[in-house]
Amino acid sequence: MKIVVLVKQVPDTETNIKVGDKAINESGVKWITSPYDEFAIEEGIRIREKSGGEVIAVSLGPDRVIEALRNAYAMGVDRAVHIKVDDYVTFDSTYTSELIANFIKSENADIVLGGRQSIDTDSSQVVLQVAERLGIAHIAMALEITIADKTVTAKREIEGGTEVIETLLPVAVTAQKGLNEPRYPSLKGIMSAKKKPIETKKAEELGATASKLEVVSLEPPPPRIAGRKLEAADAQSYASQLVKALREEAKVI
């Protein structure tokens, strides 16, 4: 069983983000593995522990993403691959999925695992696009995965409940919170991860086209407009004032 886990490095949610002209100012930013990807890493390791095989962590971006791959090593993956793209545009899911899919083709993987979304762009697109490029089934927001021979059964979250899906290997799956509890890397694992090799793949080696997306500008959201409290003697008057404000000021009705 060959399992590829997609790992994205993202800014910590508690980091103070400063917006530059076309990108965030990375000075002082603390980088972490996207939390949903940690569920994917854990699931990949559990599948290997049960069924045997190899878990390969893959991360795309500049040299700093190696830190996320070291974390995956510390958790217990077997190999780590860095797809080196120095001018990586985090919003370009098309280019990202093309590079990753081309790598996975060369590995002939049985399972592709990734988080349901990254916590920076929240696009939820890369794993789905990789599955489409590979021509394999895709299961989103998995809460439980069972593999028997070539059959994959998964419980996934849907609006208002859950559903059970069955398909065949190979398959791509996105991990939802609740799929498992990611293990904490041991001190021994952290120390040994520092010495393990990181394979590097360049974009031209993977036969991908150049990114077609250009960030023209990046701006923080506009300041929130202060609220206004309505004053009235009864419910009817409140309703009249509210309707008038929505029609004449907000112009939404």
Indicate the pLDDT class of residue 253, thresholds 50, 70 and 90.
confident
| Shared-domain flag, residues 170 and 240 | no
Residue 209 has pLDDT above 80, yes or no: no
User: Higher pLDDT residue, 51 or 119?
Assistant: 51
> Do 125 and 242 reside in the same domain of the chain?
no
Using the Cα atoms of residue 170, residue 176, residue 178 and residue 184 in order, give the sign of their dihedral: positive
Please give the residue range of the domain that contains residue 227: 222-253
Residue 29 lies in a domain: yes
Residue with tokens 């000075």: 27
Task: Name the percent of the chain in helix, strand, coil, to the closest 5.
Answer: 30, 30, 40
Distance, in Å, from the CA atom of 242 to the CA atom of 230, rounded to the nearest integer, reads 8
In a shared domain, residues 132 and 252:
no
> 9 has which bridge partners?
33
* 19 confidence band (pLDDT: 50, 70, 90): confident
To the nearest 10°, the Cα dihedral for 240, 245, 247, 249?
160
**Residue 226 pLDDT > 90, yes or no?**
no
Question: Is 106 a member of any domain?
Answer: yes
For residue 144, the surrounding DSSP H or E stretch is: strand 137-148
Alpha-carbon distance of 253 to 250, in angstroms, equals: 8
- In whole angstroms, give the CA distance from residue 2 to residue 113: 11
Same domain for 71 and 120?
yes
With 90 as the cut, is the pLDDT of residue 179 above it? yes
- Which residues, in sequence order, are CB contacts of 214 under 8 Å at separation 6+? 89
Q: Are both 136 and 249 inside the same structural domain?
A: no
User: What phi, psi does 39 have (nearest 5°)?
Assistant: -65, -40
For residues 166-182, average pLDDT: 95
Q: How much is the average pLDDT of 42-60?
A: 96
The arithmetic mean of pLDDT across residues 101-119, rounded, is 94
Number of domains in the chain: 2
Examine residue 11 and say whether the peptide bond preceding it is cis (omega within 30 degrees of 0). Answer: no
The more confident residue out of 15 and 117 is 117
Residue 14's pLDDT band, with cuts at 50, 70 and 90, is: confident
Domain identity same for 232 and 202? no
Q: Please indicate, yes or no, whether residues 133 and 190 belong to a single structural domain of this protein.
A: yes
Is the domain of 124 the same as that of 237?
A: no
Is there a contact between 99 and 85 (Cβ–Cβ < 8 Å)? Answer: yes
Q: Examine residue 216 and state whether it is found in any structural domain, yes or no.
A: no
